[in-house]
Chains A and B, each alone.
Chain A
Amino acid sequence: MSAIEHAIPSGFRRTLCIFGREFRGYFTTPLAGVFLVIFLFLTAFFTFNVGGLYERDQADLRPFFQFHPWLYLFLVPAVSMRLWAEERRTGTIELLTTLPFTTANLVVGKFLAAWAFTTLALLLTVPTWVTVSWLGDPDHGAIVVGYLASALLAGSFLAIGSVLSALTKNQVIAFVICAVVAFLVLLCGFPAVLDIVRGWMPGSAGDRLAVALSSMSALTHFDSLMRGVIDLRDVIYFGSVIIGCLYINVLVVDWKKAD
Protein backbone atom coordinates (compact mmCIF):
# COMPACT_ATOMS: atom_id res chain seq x y z
CA MET A 1 0.00 0.00 0.00
CA SER A 2 2.89 2.33 0.76
CA ALA A 3 4.00 4.52 -2.11
CA ILE A 4 7.58 5.16 -3.18
CA GLU A 5 9.63 6.04 -0.12
CA HIS A 6 11.36 9.39 -0.33
CA ALA A 7 14.49 9.97 1.72
CA ILE A 8 14.49 13.04 3.97
CA PRO A 9 17.88 14.67 4.60
CA SER A 10 18.98 15.02 8.23
CA GLY A 11 18.18 18.21 10.15
CA PHE A 12 21.78 19.35 9.80
CA ARG A 13 21.76 18.83 6.03
CA ARG A 14 18.43 20.60 5.66
CA THR A 15 19.73 23.62 7.56
CA LEU A 16 22.95 23.54 5.56
CA CYS A 17 20.95 23.49 2.32
CA ILE A 18 19.12 26.69 3.31
CA PHE A 19 22.33 28.24 4.58
CA GLY A 20 24.09 27.58 1.27
CA ARG A 21 21.37 29.07 -0.88
CA GLU A 22 21.02 32.15 1.30
CA PHE A 23 24.71 32.81 1.68
CA ARG A 24 25.32 32.58 -2.04
CA GLY A 25 22.27 34.78 -2.53
CA TYR A 26 24.08 37.70 -0.91
CA PHE A 27 26.63 37.73 -3.68
CA THR A 28 24.20 37.60 -6.59
CA THR A 29 22.78 41.01 -5.66
CA PRO A 30 24.63 44.32 -5.35
CA LEU A 31 23.76 44.26 -1.65
CA ALA A 32 26.90 42.34 -0.68
CA GLY A 33 29.25 44.73 -2.43
CA VAL A 34 27.52 47.85 -1.14
CA PHE A 35 27.41 46.50 2.39
CA LEU A 36 31.06 45.46 2.47
CA VAL A 37 32.31 48.74 1.00
CA ILE A 38 30.24 50.90 3.36
CA PHE A 39 31.20 48.81 6.37
CA LEU A 40 34.92 48.86 5.59
CA PHE A 41 34.90 52.54 4.66
CA LEU A 42 33.06 53.61 7.80
CA THR A 43 35.09 51.47 10.19
CA ALA A 44 38.28 52.90 8.71
CA PHE A 45 36.93 56.45 8.76
CA PHE A 46 35.75 56.28 12.36
CA THR A 47 38.80 54.45 13.60
CA PHE A 48 41.45 56.67 12.10
CA ASN A 49 39.73 60.08 11.86
CA VAL A 50 37.11 60.26 14.57
CA GLY A 51 38.60 57.74 16.97
CA GLY A 52 42.13 59.04 16.44
CA LEU A 53 43.84 55.65 16.45
CA TYR A 54 47.17 57.20 15.44
CA GLU A 55 47.02 60.10 17.88
CA ARG A 56 46.56 57.87 20.89
CA ASP A 57 49.71 56.55 22.44
CA GLN A 58 48.21 53.19 23.23
CA ALA A 59 48.25 50.65 20.47
CA ASP A 60 44.87 48.94 20.84
CA LEU A 61 41.66 48.67 18.85
CA ARG A 62 39.19 50.27 21.26
CA PRO A 63 38.50 53.26 19.01
CA PHE A 64 37.84 50.75 16.23
CA PHE A 65 35.36 48.59 18.16
CA GLN A 66 33.61 51.40 19.99
CA PHE A 67 31.87 52.53 16.78
CA HIS A 68 30.59 49.09 15.82
CA PRO A 69 27.27 49.32 17.73
CA TRP A 70 26.42 52.52 15.86
CA LEU A 71 27.42 51.11 12.47
CA TYR A 72 25.42 47.95 13.06
CA LEU A 73 22.46 50.11 13.96
CA PHE A 74 21.74 50.79 10.31
CA LEU A 75 23.87 48.23 8.49
CA VAL A 76 22.40 45.13 10.16
CA PRO A 77 18.75 46.08 9.40
CA ALA A 78 19.80 46.48 5.77
CA VAL A 79 20.78 42.80 5.80
CA SER A 80 17.94 41.45 7.93
CA MET A 81 15.08 43.38 6.32
CA ARG A 82 14.83 41.07 3.33
CA LEU A 83 15.22 37.75 5.16
CA TRP A 84 11.48 36.96 5.36
CA ALA A 85 9.73 40.01 3.91
CA GLU A 86 11.05 39.22 0.43
CA GLU A 87 10.20 35.55 0.77
CA ARG A 88 6.60 36.42 1.63
CA ARG A 89 6.24 39.13 -0.99
CA THR A 90 7.35 36.88 -3.86
CA GLY A 91 5.52 33.80 -2.57
CA THR A 92 8.66 31.66 -2.42
CA ILE A 93 7.81 31.01 1.23
CA GLU A 94 5.10 28.68 -0.10
CA LEU A 95 7.78 26.73 -1.92
CA LEU A 96 10.12 26.55 1.08
CA THR A 97 7.47 25.50 3.56
CA THR A 98 6.12 22.75 1.31
CA LEU A 99 9.57 21.24 0.75
CA PRO A 100 10.65 18.79 3.47
CA PHE A 101 12.01 21.49 5.82
CA THR A 102 10.87 22.35 9.32
CA THR A 103 10.30 26.02 10.07
CA ALA A 104 13.24 25.85 12.49
CA ASN A 105 15.51 24.61 9.66
CA LEU A 106 14.52 27.65 7.61
CA VAL A 107 14.88 30.17 10.45
CA VAL A 108 18.26 28.86 11.61
CA GLY A 109 19.64 28.42 8.07
CA LYS A 110 18.70 31.94 7.06
CA PHE A 111 19.97 33.47 10.29
CA LEU A 112 23.32 31.67 10.10
CA ALA A 113 23.80 32.76 6.50
CA ALA A 114 23.15 36.40 7.41
CA TRP A 115 25.45 36.11 10.42
CA ALA A 116 28.18 34.51 8.34
CA PHE A 117 27.86 37.42 5.93
CA THR A 118 28.24 40.16 8.58
CA THR A 119 31.06 38.16 10.18
CA LEU A 120 32.80 38.05 6.81
CA ALA A 121 32.57 41.85 6.65
CA LEU A 122 34.03 42.00 10.13
CA LEU A 123 36.90 39.69 9.22
CA LEU A 124 37.78 41.91 6.28
CA THR A 125 38.86 44.52 8.85
CA VAL A 126 41.74 42.33 10.03
CA PRO A 127 44.22 44.65 8.19
CA THR A 128 43.38 47.24 10.87
CA TRP A 129 44.60 44.77 13.46
CA VAL A 130 47.72 44.14 11.41
CA THR A 131 48.36 47.91 11.21
CA VAL A 132 48.07 48.30 14.96
CA SER A 133 50.40 45.37 15.57
CA TRP A 134 52.91 46.94 13.24
CA LEU A 135 52.69 50.32 14.99
CA GLY A 136 52.96 48.97 18.51
CA ASP A 137 52.42 46.00 20.71
CA PRO A 138 48.67 45.59 21.29
CA ASP A 139 46.97 43.13 23.61
CA HIS A 140 46.01 40.49 21.06
CA GLY A 141 43.80 38.65 23.51
CA ALA A 142 41.72 41.78 24.04
CA ILE A 143 41.40 42.23 20.28
CA VAL A 144 40.16 38.67 19.81
CA VAL A 145 37.55 39.28 22.53
CA GLY A 146 36.66 42.55 20.76
CA TYR A 147 35.99 40.68 17.52
CA LEU A 148 33.89 38.15 19.42
CA ALA A 149 31.88 40.94 21.07
CA SER A 150 31.33 42.65 17.73
CA ALA A 151 30.17 39.43 16.08
CA LEU A 152 27.82 38.65 19.00
CA LEU A 153 26.32 42.13 18.80
CA ALA A 154 25.75 41.83 15.05
CA GLY A 155 24.18 38.40 15.60
CA SER A 156 21.79 39.80 18.22
CA PHE A 157 20.69 42.62 15.95
CA LEU A 158 20.26 40.17 13.08
CA ALA A 159 18.08 37.88 15.19
CA ILE A 160 15.91 40.84 16.19
CA GLY A 161 15.77 42.00 12.57
CA SER A 162 14.83 38.53 11.35
CA VAL A 163 11.75 38.45 13.61
CA LEU A 164 10.69 41.91 12.44
CA SER A 165 11.22 40.93 8.80
CA ALA A 166 8.85 37.98 9.29
CA LEU A 167 6.18 40.33 10.62
CA THR A 168 5.87 42.43 7.46
CA LYS A 169 6.04 42.08 3.68
CA ASN A 170 7.45 45.58 3.43
CA GLN A 171 11.24 45.72 3.60
CA VAL A 172 11.33 49.46 4.38
CA ILE A 173 9.13 48.95 7.41
CA ALA A 174 11.28 45.98 8.48
CA PHE A 175 14.39 48.17 8.16
CA VAL A 176 13.04 51.14 10.11
CA ILE A 177 11.53 49.12 12.96
CA CYS A 178 14.67 47.01 13.30
CA ALA A 179 16.84 50.15 13.49
CA VAL A 180 14.53 51.65 16.13
CA VAL A 181 14.44 48.48 18.24
CA ALA A 182 18.22 48.04 17.99
CA PHE A 183 18.61 51.69 19.01
CA LEU A 184 16.42 51.13 22.08
CA VAL A 185 18.36 48.00 22.98
CA LEU A 186 21.57 50.04 22.91
CA LEU A 187 20.10 53.19 24.42
CA CYS A 188 18.75 51.61 27.60
CA GLY A 189 22.32 51.19 28.79
CA PHE A 190 23.38 54.76 28.04
CA PRO A 191 24.48 56.64 31.21
CA ALA A 192 22.41 59.66 30.19
CA VAL A 193 19.28 57.53 29.92
CA LEU A 194 19.95 55.86 33.25
CA ASP A 195 20.31 59.31 34.84
CA ILE A 196 16.94 60.34 33.44
CA VAL A 197 15.41 57.18 34.92
CA ARG A 198 16.95 57.99 38.31
CA GLY A 199 15.60 61.55 37.98
CA TRP A 200 12.06 60.30 37.32
CA MET A 201 12.09 57.80 40.11
CA PRO A 202 14.33 58.93 42.93
CA GLY A 203 15.47 56.53 45.62
CA SER A 204 16.25 52.84 45.56
CA ALA A 205 13.39 51.93 43.18
CA GLY A 206 14.89 54.18 40.52
CA ASP A 207 18.30 52.70 41.14
CA ARG A 208 17.01 49.18 40.78
CA LEU A 209 15.20 50.07 37.57
CA ALA A 210 18.34 51.69 36.20
CA VAL A 211 20.39 48.61 37.03
CA ALA A 212 17.78 46.35 35.46
CA LEU A 213 17.64 48.50 32.34
CA SER A 214 21.36 48.64 31.93
CA SER A 215 21.66 44.88 32.33
CA MET A 216 19.21 44.49 29.44
CA SER A 217 21.20 46.81 27.24
CA ALA A 218 23.42 45.38 24.55
CA LEU A 219 25.74 48.32 25.06
CA THR A 220 26.46 47.40 28.69
CA HIS A 221 27.46 43.88 27.72
CA PHE A 222 29.38 45.03 24.68
CA ASP A 223 31.37 47.54 26.77
CA SER A 224 31.99 44.90 29.39
CA LEU A 225 33.55 42.58 26.79
CA MET A 226 35.58 45.56 25.52
CA ARG A 227 37.58 45.37 28.74
CA GLY A 228 39.24 42.41 27.11
CA VAL A 229 38.05 39.50 29.22
CA ILE A 230 35.30 37.08 28.39
CA ASP A 231 32.64 37.38 31.06
CA LEU A 232 30.27 34.46 30.84
CA ARG A 233 27.31 36.71 31.73
CA ASP A 234 27.87 38.82 28.62
CA VAL A 235 28.11 35.78 26.36
CA ILE A 236 24.96 34.35 27.93
CA TYR A 237 23.19 37.67 27.38
CA PHE A 238 23.93 37.73 23.64
CA GLY A 239 23.30 34.00 23.34
CA SER A 240 19.88 34.28 24.94
CA VAL A 241 18.91 37.28 22.80
CA ILE A 242 19.79 35.29 19.67
CA ILE A 243 18.16 32.02 20.72
CA GLY A 244 15.10 33.78 22.16
CA CYS A 245 14.56 35.80 18.98
CA LEU A 246 15.00 32.76 16.73
CA TYR A 247 12.44 30.88 18.79
CA ILE A 248 9.97 33.75 18.40
CA ASN A 249 10.92 33.89 14.73
CA VAL A 250 9.74 30.30 14.19
CA LEU A 251 6.37 31.13 15.77
CA VAL A 252 6.01 34.33 13.72
CA VAL A 253 6.83 32.59 10.43
CA ASP A 254 4.25 29.88 11.08
CA TRP A 255 1.71 32.49 12.08
CA LYS A 256 2.29 34.93 9.24
CA LYS A 257 3.36 32.76 6.28
CA ALA A 258 -0.06 32.57 4.63
CA ASP A 259 -1.09 36.22 5.01
Chain B
Amino acid sequence: MGDDPILISARGLERRFGEIHAVRGIDLDVPAGQVLGFLGPNGAGKSTTMRMLTGFLEPSAGTVRIAGIDMADSPLAAKACIGYLPEGAPAYPDMTVEEFLRFIAKARGYVGAEATRRVDAALDLVHLGRVRRQSIETLSKGFKRRTGLAQALLHDPSVLILDEPTDGLDPNQKHEVRELIRKLGGERAIVLSTHILEEVEAVCTRAVIIASGRIVFDGTPQAMEAKAPATVTRNRLDWVFRSLTSASAVAEVTT
Protein backbone atom coordinates (compact mmCIF):
# COMPACT_ATOMS: atom_id res chain seq x y z
CA MET B 1 0.00 0.00 0.00
CA GLY B 2 3.04 2.20 0.48
CA ASP B 3 3.28 3.56 -3.08
CA ASP B 4 -0.40 4.39 -3.60
CA PRO B 5 -0.66 8.10 -4.42
CA ILE B 6 -1.60 10.36 -1.52
CA LEU B 7 -4.92 11.91 -2.54
CA ILE B 8 -5.69 13.88 0.60
CA SER B 9 -2.95 15.60 2.51
CA ALA B 10 -3.53 17.96 5.43
CA ARG B 11 -0.68 19.68 7.27
CA GLY B 12 -1.07 21.52 10.56
CA LEU B 13 -4.76 22.26 10.03
CA GLU B 14 -6.22 24.67 12.54
CA ARG B 15 -9.48 26.53 12.72
CA ARG B 16 -10.72 29.10 15.19
CA PHE B 17 -14.22 30.55 15.43
CA GLY B 18 -13.61 33.63 17.54
CA GLU B 19 -12.80 32.26 20.97
CA ILE B 20 -13.51 28.65 20.02
CA HIS B 21 -10.45 26.71 18.89
CA ALA B 22 -12.31 23.98 17.02
CA VAL B 23 -9.41 22.26 15.22
CA ARG B 24 -5.94 22.39 16.77
CA GLY B 25 -3.38 21.00 14.40
CA ILE B 26 -4.41 18.00 12.28
CA ASP B 27 -1.96 16.17 10.02
CA LEU B 28 -3.45 13.56 7.76
CA ASP B 29 -2.36 11.68 4.63
CA VAL B 30 -4.91 9.51 2.90
CA PRO B 31 -3.64 7.36 0.00
CA ALA B 32 -5.81 5.93 -2.77
CA GLY B 33 -7.53 2.74 -1.69
CA GLN B 34 -8.02 3.80 1.89
CA VAL B 35 -11.41 4.15 3.61
CA LEU B 36 -10.85 6.32 6.63
CA GLY B 37 -13.39 6.36 9.45
CA PHE B 38 -13.32 9.73 11.18
CA LEU B 39 -14.51 9.43 14.77
CA GLY B 40 -14.91 11.72 17.71
CA PRO B 41 -17.45 13.00 20.21
CA ASN B 42 -19.95 15.73 19.31
CA GLY B 43 -18.16 19.01 18.78
CA ALA B 44 -14.74 17.34 18.40
CA GLY B 45 -14.17 19.14 15.09
CA LYS B 46 -14.94 16.41 12.54
CA SER B 47 -17.24 18.52 10.37
CA THR B 48 -14.96 21.54 10.69
CA THR B 49 -11.99 19.45 9.51
CA MET B 50 -13.97 18.04 6.58
CA ARG B 51 -15.10 21.54 5.65
CA MET B 52 -11.50 22.61 5.43
CA LEU B 53 -10.57 19.53 3.36
CA THR B 54 -13.33 20.38 0.86
CA GLY B 55 -12.50 24.08 0.67
CA PHE B 56 -15.71 25.33 2.30
CA LEU B 57 -13.82 26.79 5.24
CA GLU B 58 -10.44 28.45 5.02
CA PRO B 59 -8.08 27.05 7.66
CA SER B 60 -6.81 29.51 10.27
CA ALA B 61 -3.48 27.77 9.76
CA GLY B 62 -2.17 24.83 7.75
CA THR B 63 -2.58 23.54 4.21
CA VAL B 64 -4.77 21.10 2.30
CA ARG B 65 -3.69 19.29 -0.86
CA ILE B 66 -6.11 17.21 -2.90
CA ALA B 67 -4.50 14.87 -5.45
CA GLY B 68 -1.40 17.03 -5.14
CA ILE B 69 -3.30 20.28 -5.81
CA ASP B 70 -3.12 22.99 -3.16
CA MET B 71 -6.64 24.03 -2.12
CA ALA B 72 -5.59 27.61 -1.39
CA ASP B 73 -3.74 28.04 -4.72
CA SER B 74 -6.14 26.35 -7.15
CA PRO B 75 -9.45 25.80 -5.39
CA LEU B 76 -11.39 24.95 -8.57
CA ALA B 77 -9.01 22.22 -9.71
CA ALA B 78 -8.90 20.77 -6.19
CA LYS B 79 -12.70 20.91 -5.75
CA ALA B 80 -13.19 19.22 -9.12
CA CYS B 81 -11.52 16.08 -7.70
CA ILE B 82 -13.77 15.88 -4.64
CA GLY B 83 -17.19 14.42 -4.10
CA TYR B 84 -18.60 15.83 -0.86
CA LEU B 85 -21.65 14.99 1.19
CA PRO B 86 -22.04 17.83 3.72
CA GLU B 87 -23.51 17.12 7.15
CA GLY B 88 -27.30 16.89 6.84
CA ALA B 89 -27.16 16.40 3.05
CA PRO B 90 -28.36 19.88 2.00
CA ALA B 91 -30.22 20.07 -1.32
CA TYR B 92 -32.69 22.40 -3.03
CA PRO B 93 -36.12 21.38 -1.71
CA ASP B 94 -38.11 22.65 -4.70
CA MET B 95 -36.13 20.66 -7.26
CA THR B 96 -36.86 17.07 -8.18
CA VAL B 97 -34.12 14.51 -7.58
CA GLU B 98 -33.42 14.35 -11.30
CA GLU B 99 -33.34 18.15 -11.79
CA PHE B 100 -31.00 18.45 -8.85
CA LEU B 101 -28.60 15.84 -10.23
CA ARG B 102 -28.76 17.46 -13.67
CA PHE B 103 -27.70 20.72 -12.08
CA ILE B 104 -24.78 18.98 -10.38
CA ALA B 105 -23.83 17.30 -13.68
CA LYS B 106 -23.79 20.68 -15.42
CA ALA B 107 -21.73 22.18 -12.61
CA ARG B 108 -19.26 19.32 -13.10
CA GLY B 109 -19.01 20.16 -16.80
CA TYR B 110 -21.13 17.38 -18.33
CA VAL B 111 -23.52 18.20 -21.14
CA GLY B 112 -25.92 16.34 -23.42
CA ALA B 113 -25.89 12.55 -23.50
CA GLU B 114 -22.93 12.35 -21.12
CA ALA B 115 -24.86 14.34 -18.49
CA THR B 116 -27.86 12.04 -18.88
CA ARG B 117 -25.65 8.98 -18.59
CA ARG B 118 -23.99 10.34 -15.42
CA VAL B 119 -27.32 11.20 -13.80
CA ASP B 120 -28.77 7.78 -14.60
CA ALA B 121 -25.66 6.02 -13.31
CA ALA B 122 -25.74 8.00 -10.05
CA LEU B 123 -29.46 7.26 -9.59
CA ASP B 124 -28.77 3.56 -10.14
CA LEU B 125 -25.84 3.47 -7.77
CA VAL B 126 -27.92 4.57 -4.80
CA HIS B 127 -31.23 3.06 -5.99
CA LEU B 128 -33.10 6.32 -6.39
CA GLY B 129 -34.75 5.60 -9.75
CA ARG B 130 -38.17 5.23 -8.15
CA VAL B 131 -38.23 8.81 -6.78
CA ARG B 132 -36.35 10.57 -9.58
CA ARG B 133 -39.31 12.81 -10.41
CA GLN B 134 -40.24 13.52 -6.81
CA SER B 135 -39.36 16.92 -5.36
CA ILE B 136 -36.66 16.74 -2.72
CA GLU B 137 -38.78 18.36 0.01
CA THR B 138 -41.21 15.43 -0.17
CA LEU B 139 -38.50 12.76 0.26
CA SER B 140 -38.00 10.80 3.46
CA LYS B 141 -34.78 11.44 5.35
CA GLY B 142 -33.14 8.30 3.98
CA PHE B 143 -33.92 9.17 0.38
CA LYS B 144 -32.73 12.71 0.90
CA ARG B 145 -29.44 11.38 2.28
CA ARG B 146 -29.11 9.11 -0.74
CA THR B 147 -29.72 12.05 -3.06
CA GLY B 148 -26.79 13.73 -1.33
CA LEU B 149 -24.69 10.62 -1.93
CA ALA B 150 -25.70 10.47 -5.61
CA GLN B 151 -24.67 14.10 -5.95
CA ALA B 152 -21.26 13.37 -4.42
CA LEU B 153 -20.65 10.31 -6.62
CA LEU B 154 -21.89 11.73 -9.90
CA HIS B 155 -18.50 12.65 -11.38
CA ASP B 156 -16.74 9.50 -10.19
CA PRO B 157 -14.40 11.50 -7.95
CA SER B 158 -11.06 10.19 -6.78
CA VAL B 159 -11.65 11.76 -3.35
CA LEU B 160 -14.86 11.21 -1.41
CA ILE B 161 -15.63 13.08 1.78
CA LEU B 162 -18.83 11.99 3.49
CA ASP B 163 -20.03 13.65 6.68
CA GLU B 164 -22.22 11.12 8.52
CA PRO B 165 -23.45 9.32 5.38
CA THR B 166 -25.54 6.80 7.32
CA ASP B 167 -27.04 9.16 9.88
CA GLY B 168 -30.80 8.72 10.08
CA LEU B 169 -30.95 5.69 7.79
CA ASP B 170 -32.82 2.51 8.70
CA PRO B 171 -30.76 -0.69 9.16
CA ASN B 172 -31.42 -1.84 5.59
CA GLN B 173 -30.32 1.43 4.08
CA LYS B 174 -27.31 1.61 6.40
CA HIS B 175 -26.29 -1.79 5.14
CA GLU B 176 -26.75 -0.73 1.52
CA VAL B 177 -24.70 2.43 1.94
CA ARG B 178 -21.91 0.50 3.67
CA GLU B 179 -21.87 -2.00 0.82
CA LEU B 180 -21.69 0.89 -1.61
CA ILE B 181 -18.80 2.54 0.22
CA ARG B 182 -16.90 -0.74 0.36
CA LYS B 183 -17.46 -1.18 -3.37
CA LEU B 184 -16.28 2.37 -4.07
CA GLY B 185 -13.13 1.89 -2.01
CA GLY B 186 -10.72 0.48 -4.61
CA GLU B 187 -8.74 3.29 -6.20
CA ARG B 188 -10.33 6.14 -4.26
CA ALA B 189 -9.51 7.92 -1.03
CA ILE B 190 -12.60 8.03 1.17
CA VAL B 191 -13.06 9.87 4.45
CA LEU B 192 -16.32 9.30 6.29
CA SER B 193 -17.36 10.50 9.69
CA THR B 194 -19.67 8.46 11.85
CA HIS B 195 -20.85 7.89 15.39
CA ILE B 196 -21.45 4.19 14.76
CA LEU B 197 -18.35 2.28 15.72
CA GLU B 198 -19.39 -1.02 14.09
CA GLU B 199 -19.45 0.91 10.85
CA VAL B 200 -15.72 1.44 11.18
CA GLU B 201 -15.13 -2.28 11.60
CA ALA B 202 -17.45 -3.03 8.72
CA VAL B 203 -16.14 -0.67 6.04
CA CYS B 204 -13.02 1.22 7.09
CA THR B 205 -9.39 0.26 6.60
CA ARG B 206 -8.25 3.00 8.97
CA ALA B 207 -9.72 4.72 12.01
CA VAL B 208 -8.85 8.22 13.17
CA ILE B 209 -10.29 9.50 16.43
CA ILE B 210 -10.23 13.19 17.26
CA ALA B 211 -11.13 14.90 20.51
CA SER B 212 -11.15 18.65 21.10
CA GLY B 213 -9.64 19.25 17.68
CA ARG B 214 -6.66 16.87 18.04
CA ILE B 215 -5.96 13.38 16.78
CA VAL B 216 -5.93 10.96 19.72
CA PHE B 217 -5.84 7.70 17.77
CA ASP B 218 -4.74 6.76 14.25
CA GLY B 219 -4.54 3.14 13.18
CA THR B 220 -6.42 0.18 11.80
CA PRO B 221 -9.78 -0.78 13.32
CA GLN B 222 -8.03 -3.96 14.57
CA ALA B 223 -5.37 -1.92 16.32
CA MET B 224 -8.09 0.19 17.87
CA GLU B 225 -9.87 -2.84 19.20
CA ALA B 226 -6.62 -4.27 20.53
CA LYS B 227 -6.25 -1.27 22.84
CA ALA B 228 -9.07 -2.60 25.02
CA PRO B 229 -7.91 -4.89 27.86
CA ALA B 230 -8.88 -8.55 27.64
CA THR B 231 -11.29 -8.11 30.53
CA VAL B 232 -13.57 -6.07 28.26
CA THR B 233 -15.53 -8.64 26.32
CA ARG B 234 -18.35 -6.68 24.74
CA ASN B 235 -18.38 -3.34 22.84
CA ARG B 236 -14.61 -3.22 22.83
CA LEU B 237 -14.48 -0.35 20.32
CA ASP B 238 -16.87 1.67 22.48
CA TRP B 239 -14.58 1.12 25.42
CA VAL B 240 -11.55 2.38 23.49
CA PHE B 241 -13.49 5.35 22.14
CA ARG B 242 -14.62 6.34 25.63
CA SER B 243 -11.23 5.89 27.21
CA LEU B 244 -9.58 8.05 24.55
CA THR B 245 -12.15 10.83 24.36
CA SER B 246 -13.47 11.14 27.91
CA ALA B 247 -12.88 14.54 29.49
CA SER B 248 -9.93 13.42 31.64
CA ALA B 249 -8.16 11.66 28.77
CA VAL B 250 -8.56 14.74 26.59
CA ALA B 251 -7.32 17.03 29.36
CA GLU B 252 -4.13 14.95 29.49
CA VAL B 253 -3.54 15.35 25.77
CA THR B 254 -4.25 19.08 25.63
CA THR B 255 -1.96 20.06 28.50
Contact = CB atoms under 8 A, between A and B. Distances in A.
B88 interface: yes
B195 to A, nearest CB: 19
A257 B103 contact: no
B241 interface: no
A44 to B, nearest CB: 30
Contacts of B49: none
> Looking at chain A's contact residues, is the secondary structure mostly helix, strand, loop, or mixed?
loop
A243 B106 CA distance: 27
B81 A6 contact: yes
Contacts of B236: none
A169 B246 CA distance: 35
A95 B76 contact: no
Contacts of A9: 106-109
Contact of A8 (B87, B109, B151, B158): B109
Contacts of A100: 76-77, 79-80, 107-109
Interface string B11-54: 00000000000000000000010000000000000000001001
Interface residues of B, number: 39
A71 B157 CA distance: 48
A101 B107 contact: yes
B91 A92 contact: yes
Contacts of B32: 3
A91 interface: yes
A98 B155 CA distance: 14
Nearest to A99: B107
A6 B95 contact: no
Contacts of A6: 80-81, 108-109, 155, 157
A131 interface: no
Contacts, number: 93
Interface bracket on A: 20 to 34
B7 A14 contact: no
B5 interface: yes
B144 to A, nearest CB: 12
A102 B76 contact: yes
A156 B84 CA distance: 35
B168 interface: no
Contact of B88 (A8, A91, A102): A91
B63 to A, nearest CB: 17
Contacts of A20: 106
Given A92-B91, A94-B90, 11 more contacts: A2-B5, A3-B5, A3-B67, A6-B109, A6-B155, A17-B103, A90-B92, A95-B84, A97-B56, A99-B104, A100-B76
13 contacts: A2-B67, A3-B32, A3-B158, A17-B106, A28-B94, A90-B93, A92-B90, A98-B55, A99-B108, A100-B107, A100-B108, A101-B76, A258-B56
